[in-house]
Structure 1
């Protein structure tokens, strides 16, 4: 079976593009707005623990992505890895469910843009449908640019997000300490008044879909590897930067709002106000109106950026499906500038069309629907990335190949892969429990399917595909590790590309340490000693 070795997509992206897309790909509506819903429903401790658990999963998944994306940089990445190492039927179900999730995210981010605008007076003069149409046009324009121009746009967005998080940390510590124009010292008052949880353990489980949704898209660095000049150089840099996003944005960022915002504030997104981010509320109630407006603008461009990346990712998922015969062959075509029109147009049209659901519903209602659906598909995807990594290593072993042959290997295997896979399974079971016995309403078939339909649909698609492959190829439940062609779809690196990695110069801000290793190579380094001496070794 063809696993998609070649593509009409072009390798226009550099290490800088991949690293910045990895940093900013999942910083959007889930963090800036969804954290308000989670703070209200779960409480300060639940929010922080939820992000911490999700962060360990993302970090584990990223390690699996790094090892596979360097050796098999394919357009739909994890879909084609699942198809190759696990089972074509599972790959088929994952691919179409993931495409479904990408246009769900597009719709959610477009709805989020309208919600963010509601903070400013006068924006209601244009109806919700009008704003959605305007923002959809912007997403289309960004995505129809050449791939490198799209990447440059995302680099700018990511840089703005990354720079602003330091402003958030400093100013919110000042607010919590009582140094703002309005309000007394807060400290951990809201932790003490709620004992960390507003609705106990069930409330904590209830906010996990929002935490997962906030981090969905983190796997985008696996998709862009197919359009990267040298994945062996760029992907490890992107993977190694994951901890910055997880630590600064999610863990420190969520801690900042727990020490500045009351979980029972009526203006929180998800409360009676339904239009305010907890970050904006913190500034506004502290008497820092200018910072509140700047914060809202940062949220606006963050949500726009995430929507743009979702259009990119959805189109590349279709390209990958087409390459392995699981979607119409026209969808793998790209023009001379690397734009896959046949895959891009349906992704943006369907995702944009769904956004208009926000016209007749409140933003928080649409957000809850879409985040629950997306988080379950995300868990499915993360689980298959980890499982594909486990199966790839197994195939590598049973076929007598040495791990040293891998162009890049993670030191975390197999612990990280099994950790990510296990928690994905546990959280899917937890979401099934909440779909049957909801957090704040009676059990009903309507509620079950509204929250769990993506898994139901995935299972149905998988069973139908499994039956097809059994009847046509007499294949078993998964592929035989001994029969996997480990060289099909593999990127082989030229001596120049290897040298490009090995000759990386590293800055060591310390006395001469003797040698430096980046985990794969011993590389030259520029050292600066405590006595002011310098040198290049």
Structure 2
């Protein structure tokens, strides 16, 4: 570091150096959350967490609208934005373990951070609603004896009970489900190669990628932007996970580096292997059944497996379960953070002795009942509008993260800190940020461009309502609630929130007499620990610099 040391007032926010052990020996951070997510959990969640039901069902609509070449182009362009954004998260979250809404409030303004956090909650609430619809729909493939709302109530209570377990259970479940999803995906890739190569007797897809590469030209590519934005959502979740990670300075850079693999293996891989097995004009892509519209189902059926829909339904069910499980986690932690920072009522900061923010969890999960709107034909239109706003919210949040990173880096250097003291240094700064910010703005604007010809005011409002609301929320928070504006570079806080990696003997403070790890607990509200300051300095200097 730059040698700066000071007595730090312990923040009541999620940004704090302090932690202690509960009666079970679990590490509880000053924020109240449990540091229960291990490196292996975070790495696999980062790798497989974004594999949701959309890659098996929604990709069918994406393939039909743009063709495989359109999909690849769309995912490549949006992928550049994702790479830049994840690079920013790597630098921000490896240095400080709180999420990007808090970064925004510390390096731009309180109102900016609050607005980003609110938009992120919106993303995951809409995701919860959409995935409940998909989950209940898959169950109807097996039986129609239980009505849709019955399945919803059953799963709602299951998720409610599961989310009240400590965060380690959530991490282990996503770790296990991640392996399953990765296995399903790899298995399909192997099948697609064999099928496309003529390895199945009397069955051949006749190379649809060659004959039907792109549909509707640029319009097809532009339509792919919408799908890419939705399918990529969740990749930024490692920033939320950092707050409950045992070793954020090790785990977050590793998770960020896996972004390239995720983009190529998951999205480019699916675009290619769906493209070589299913033509974009295959009539089954417009089937009334969601599962039957899946390119995976179509490929397996055309290859001779008549009952493949049951296999794909099982895969979709597993991914829906994982997706809802993650959505509740991300939304509740985002709401918890907003409350800790004073952006929403403090009641959402209540946690139990295991570090579970149950008030935030149950409040968020109640929004799942909106999925019942899809049952009624009269309410289905409203349901569609609710879900569609998630795409534009993603692009806005990603762009905000890139802007926050710009301010962070400039403030960091202006206050005299060295780049070498950062555990992870974002490559190609600041040019990658500039390019990705422009890209984020363009993608946000073109996402609903089809509503102009012919003009559809409902689609226009749905696609663009969040754009003008962002500066409105930002302004109202800053000038009416906090009564503060943009934070100056020399006023930025780069000290609070430097939590050491708990499993690192270099990063853990040791008691001089016993040699055991000691808790950095505040005395009279102040952390005055020179050992910790020096220890953190050594740990940061010893961290390996890395890029993609």
SS at match of 1:395: helix
Partner of 1:399: 415
Partner of 2:211: 192
Paired residues of 2:47 and 2:259 also in contact (CA < 8 A) = yes
Partner of 1:11: 35
Partner of 1:60: 84
Residue ranges of structure 1 left out of the alignment (5+ in a row): 501-518, 524-537
Give 1:271-350 correspondences, 5 Å limit. Answer: 271-276=287-292, 277-289=294-306, 292-350=309-367
After superposition, give the CA deviation of every residue in 1:128-148 in whole Å (9 maximum; x if it has no partner): 222222222232233122110
Paired residues of 2:104 and 2:110 also in contact (CA < 8 A) = yes
1:39 aligns with 2:39: no
Give 1:194-233 correspondences, 5 Å limit. Answer: 196-233=213-250
- How far apart are the structure 1 equivalents of 2:332 and 2:376? 28
Paired residues of 1:27 and 1:303 also in contact (CA < 8 A) = no
Offset at 1:338?
1.6
Offset at 1:5?
1.6
Structure 1: which 4+ aligned runs deviate by more than 6 Å? Answer: 362-367
Offset at 1:373?
0.9
Paired residues of 2:33 and 2:351 also in contact (CA < 8 A) = yes
Partner of 1:461: 473
TM-aligned CA distance change 1:160 to 1:361, over 3 Å:
farther
SS at match of 1:124: coil
Offset at 1:25?
1.8
C-alpha RMSD over aligned residues: 2.7
Offset at 1:361?
4.6
Give 1:120-199 correspondences, 5 Å limit. Answer: 120=141, 122-181=142-201, 183-187=203-207, 189-193=208-212, 196-199=213-216
- How far apart are the structure 2 equivalents of 1:414 and 1:182? 55
TM-aligned CA distance change 1:158 to 1:109, over 3 Å:
same
Paired residues of 1:181 and 1:286 also in contact (CA < 8 A) = no
SS at match of 1:267: helix
SS at match of 1:219: helix
- How far apart are the structure 1 equivalents of 2:379 and 2:83? 30
Partner of 1:253: 270
After superposition, give the CA deviation of every residue in 1:15-47 in whole Å (9 maximum; x if it has no partner): 011111111221112222111111111122111
After superposition, give the CA deviation of every residue in 1:141-177 in whole Å (9 maximum; x if it has no partner): 3312211011111101001111222211110111222
Paired residues of 1:331 and 1:340 also in contact (CA < 8 A) = yes
Partner of 1:111: 133
- How far apart are the structure 1 equivalents of 2:323 and 2:468? 27
TM-aligned CA distance change 1:3 to 1:486, over 3 Å:
farther
- How far apart are the structure 1 equivalents of 2:304 and 2:502? 58
TM-score, length basis structure 2: 0.83
TM-aligned CA distance change 1:221 to 1:183, over 3 Å:
same
Paired residues of 1:9 and 1:339 also in contact (CA < 8 A) = yes
SS at match of 2:470: helix
- How far apart are the structure 2 equivalents of 1:20 and 1:361? 39
SS at match of 2:214: coil
- How far apart are the structure 1 equivalents of 2:166 and 2:14? 22
Give 1:230-241 correspondences, 5 Å limit. Answer: 230-241=247-258
- Shifted more, 58-67 versus 448-457: the winner is 448-457
1:93 aligns with 2:115: yes
TM-score, length basis structure 1: 0.84
Give 1:484-495 correspondences, 5 Å limit. Answer: 484-492=492-500
Offset at 1:420?
2.8
- How far apart are the structure 2 equivalents of 1:521 and 1:217? 26
